[in-house]
Amino acid sequence: MLKSRLVDGKKVDRSLAGLSRLGLSPNAWTALALAVAFGGFLALWDHRLLLGFLLFLLSGALDMVDGAVARATGRTSAAGAFLDGVLDRYVEALLILGLLFYLGPETWFLIPIGAWIGILIFGAVMTSFVRAYADHRGLVEDQEVLAKKMGGLLERAERLILIYAGMIIALLFGNDWLVGAIVLAAVLSNLTAVQRIFLAIKYGRRG
């Protein structure tokens, strides 16, 4: 998991804990991140790539605040963690759909961009679903295995980094680079879902 390797959660919490003085609840920070992401979606819909990129970056920063505030104020809860995870998926969907409006209906790599977006969304959904369903059905009961050993090629953090990189390069060299990033993310997301299926069966048999 790229996020767990590169991000020191304790340092992030210490740097963001002061925001708890603003009085917003953790769930309010989560909702604010979603609202900013919706602004990013509207910017992409309006073909304003740089503004959309910056708003989605801000949304990602705000997404880190809710957990830090919850831990700083002793208000962590299963419901809050659930809401945070669910809204993370809505933010990602807004990003991907915004890119669909930004790029338009043209055909890239022999397939309409809308089809590539659909493939990417399906891969992103299945990547999360496979792990959750393995847990739900009791196939993999070890929570450490679910959290640390069923990552795969391209998790959400890597997927977003790849798309953001495509947006940055597109600002400099044209949209072909952004489309390439979307195509690569679509392919790798679906390969990750397949990889997790095999991992679930592998660890399920061990149990």
Which are the catalytic amino acids? 88
Residue type, 188: L
Strands 107-108 and 111-112: antiparallel
Greatest CA separation for the chain:
53
Reference 79, options 26, 138, 150; nearest CA is: 26
DSSP for 112-133 reads EHHHHHHHHHHHHHHHHHHHHH
The residue count for the chain: 207
CA distance 143 to 162: 28
